[in-house]
Structure 1
Amino acid sequence: MKKVLLGIFVLIFLALSGWMGYYFYKKSNTDPVVYKTEEPVTTDVVKKTVATGSIVPRKEVEVKSQVSGVVEELYVEAGEIVKKGQLLAKIRIVPNIVNVNNAENGVQTAKINYDEAKRELERYEDLYQQKVISEQEYRKYKADFNLKREALQSAENNLQLVREGASKRSGQASNLVYSTIDGMLLDVPIKAGSSIIERNNFNEGTTIATVADMRSLIFEGKIDESEVGKLKENMDLLLTIGAIEGRVFNAKLEYIAPKGVSEEGSIKFPIRAQVLLSENDFIRAGYSANADIVLDKREKVLTVKESMLSFEKDDTFVEVETAPQVFERRAVKTGLSDGINIEVVSGLQKTEKVKVPEAAATQKI
């Protein structure tokens, strides 16, 4: 039994010895590690944050009707350029029976009062001509006649407004809809024959058209609370619009909301920026856009990749190649970083090579 155990032990020892010999042989023939190096680059470093939002007109209005009825004529369509005061639509009023009845009763009452005042005035005018009554008393009846005449005209105008939407006295028609500003028609949501509701104190009314000044556009977006403290008015923005490839538009930050809003569990602050367009630029309203807000910038400075740095307490180090694959650990002073490249203020020359950590390749020497 002892001889068997001894034999097993010897076999195990020989196997381990052979494996160890093979391991050290392979390790001695392994190619040495060659570290990759890169030279510092002179470039611009821009620190920025991103806000998402959309492009909207600064001035956009919804034109509504002053009367209810049916659209009889529609003179414009979306995309047209209109001027302030230009006729957009004509409304055919469908009169309310109760309102018409009340207006007709008002006319009849005013007519009776007018006829009575007229007879009184004629009678007292004869007495005044005969010097029976004084001028003061005559003027009282004449003033009463004038008031009754004005009341009759007002009742007739009211009846005409209820029936037709226009009055003879004013010469204006409330059933005609005009543009209130110069601009482009973004939308005309109604069609000829559509029923509409008037604008009043109790409802917004039916929108006849949406008009906007497309020469003055703004970017409206939101930015996270962790970044809003770094923003200031008049900062430069670079707008990237998904629908317009290969173009970057400039903008100027003009508003930062003093109060944030809760959105998907985080607090975000609305911002607004003026879009700076050239004469030939045209951007459609409603485009989604991303705004790169430039927080700080360094132009033509010496930079290395931030991944090349190592940190120890408050010091920053890089490994500089002093001879082929021989590196020296050196402290450097850094400046602005954009998350990829970082400015090197001192401690490194442009011609020196810096070790790229964990970017190694193997080769046989």
Structure 2
Amino acid sequence: MKKTKTIFILLTIAILFVASMYWLYSKNMQDPVVYQTEKPVVGSIVKKTVATGSIVPKEEVLIKPNISGIIDEIFVVAGQVVKAGDLIAKVKVVPNVSSLNSAKSNINSVRTQVETARLAFENQKSIYQRQKALFEKGVISANEFDTAQLAFDQAQQRLKQEQVGLTAANQNYDIVRTGTTSGMGAAANTEIRATVSGMVLDVPVKTGNQVIEANNFNDGTTIATLADVDKMIFEGKVDESEVGKIKEGLPLQITVGAISDRTFDAELDYIAPKGVDENGAIQFEIKGTMKNLDTTKTFIRAGLSANASIILAKADNVLTIKEALVQYDQNTQKPFVEVLVGDQQFEKREITLGVSDGIDVEVKSGVSETDNIKVWNQLKPAPAAGGRK
């Protein structure tokens, strides 16, 4: 019995010994973990968000006629640069028969009134001359002469008023018939001229098209659209998740899809106070005025698609590390890194972080440019062909 027990114990010890030797052999065959390190570098960190939109003129002026009619001739084309006062188009007035007859009847009526006033004036003139002769001979009193003179002056004034009315009736007839008249200047004119200097962006009408003047019931027909292409803005939209991070005055970097080799500077000067639901997402409109835009070197066409990088924060010439090198204490949640102090020996150092762009992060304190920081989450490289398994 004792002999069997002794054999069992010896056998168990032998098995444990063999297992231990195998475990040590297996551990010895495994590659040791060698952590790589990276040094901090001096650079710039830019934290930004991106908005999509387009480039449009800051102000567009719609040129509309001041009289209804048909386009007789157009003198500009899209892309042409004009100055204030330059001729844009000419409108041919097609008179309304009813208005024409009414204006003509008004002339006849006013002519009758003029003739009546002229006869009254001639009668009062004769009376005035007789009374004046009698007054000079002392036959009538001064009061009687004054009465005759007053009646003469009133008749003369009435005749002048009726003559002015006839002139106005004739002008009104000419305006109804032709769209213009002498003595009215630009108040009644079939020539449509530019009201501002700029580039013609669009001419939506053609010769022969009918146009309507702007009034209380109609916006009128647009003959041309003008804009100063040296004053352009970025107009885009940002998501509601980003709108809380931005504010007026932030710098923008504009990239235009059609001009891939350049970026343009702008300043954010408008954020819509109300969002718009687009496909289930709330979007807020933003506008940014472009700066130092030289159209002689780079011409930006109105309506080009563009992206705006909104600079939320920026740090130049600062110490930076990869954000992947940063670890966080499980208890305090404070950031730290592990710095190499010996052969695969690292020590923990708490650091103070600054601006981050999601890849690199600014380090304000805790490490220096000469420190080697442990890449703690590196993947173990695959063994070389023919190496140990």
TM range (shorter): 0.7 to 0.9
After superposition, give the CA deviation of every residue in 1:7-38 in whole Å (9 maximum; x if it has no partner): xxxxxxxxxxxxxx999977753434444432
RMSD of aligned Cα (Å): 2.5
Moved more, 207-216 or 265-274: 265-274
Residue equivalent to 1:65: 65
Residue equivalent to 1:275: 290
Residues in 2 aligned to 1:93 and 1:268: alpha-carbon distance in whole angstroms? 47
Moved more, 150-159 or 275-284: 275-284
1:178 maps onto 2:193 in alignment: yes
Residues in 1 aligned to 2:158 and 2:23: alpha-carbon distance in whole angstroms? 126
Q: Which amino acid aligns with 1:193?
A: G
Residue equivalent to 1:112: 112
After superposition, give the CA deviation of every residue in 1:265-284 in whole Å (9 maximum; x if it has no partner): 44443332221124434221
Moved more, 249-258 or 115-124: 249-258
Q: Which amino acid aligns with 1:59?
A: E
Equivalences for residues 203-352 of structure 1 within 5 A: 203-279=218-294, 280-312=297-329, 313-352=332-371
Pairs aligned (count): 345
Q: Of 166, 169, 193, which aligns to 1:152?
A: 166
Residue equivalent to 1:18: none
Residues in 2 aligned to 1:355 and 1:89: alpha-carbon distance in whole angstroms? 74
Residues in 1 aligned to 2:45 and 2:200: alpha-carbon distance in whole angstroms? 43
Aligned to 2:154, what secondary structure does the other structure show?
helix
Residue equivalent to 1:5: none
1:99 maps onto 2:99 in alignment: yes
Residue equivalent to 2:129: 129
Residues in 2 aligned to 1:27 and 1:245: alpha-carbon distance in whole angstroms? 56
Residues in 2 aligned to 1:98 and 1:22: alpha-carbon distance in whole angstroms? 116
Residue equivalent to 1:161: 175
Unaligned 5+ segments in structure 2 are 1-20, 132-144
Residues in 1 aligned to 2:261 and 2:24: alpha-carbon distance in whole angstroms? 58
Unaligned 5+ segments in structure 1 are 1-20
Residues in 2 aligned to 1:119 and 1:360: alpha-carbon distance in whole angstroms? 119
Residues in 2 aligned to 1:257 and 1:157: alpha-carbon distance in whole angstroms? 50
- TM-score w.r.t. the length of structure 1 is 0.86
Aligned to 1:272, what secondary structure does the other structure show?
strand
TM-aligned CA distance change 1:141 to 1:22, over 3 Å: farther
Greater Cα radius of gyration, structure 1 or 2: 2
Q: Which amino acid aligns with 1:318?
A: V
Residues in 2 aligned to 1:308 and 1:300: alpha-carbon distance in whole angstroms? 20
Tell me by how many angstroms 1:354 deviates.
Answer: 2.3
Higher normalized strand content (fraction of residues): 1
Q: Which amino acid aligns with 2:379?
A: A
TM-aligned CA distance change 1:135 to 1:212, over 3 Å: same
Tell me by how many angstroms 1:223 deviates.
Answer: 3.0
Q: Which amino acid aligns with 2:314?
A: K
- TM-score w.r.t. the length of structure 2 is 0.81
After superposition, give the CA deviation of every residue in 1:147-206 in whole Å (9 maximum; x if it has no partner): 211111111111110110101221444211000100000111111122222221111111
Residues in 2 aligned to 1:320 and 1:275: alpha-carbon distance in whole angstroms? 46
Tell me by how many angstroms 1:82 deviates.
Answer: 0.4
Q: Which amino acid aligns with 2:151?
A: E
Moved more, 223-232 or 338-347: 223-232
After superposition, give the CA deviation of every residue in 1:65-112 in whole Å (9 maximum; x if it has no partner): 112221111111111110101111011111111211211111111111
Q: Of 366, 373, 379, which aligns to 1:359?
A: 379
Q: Is the 8 A contact 2:124 2:148 kept in 1?
A: no
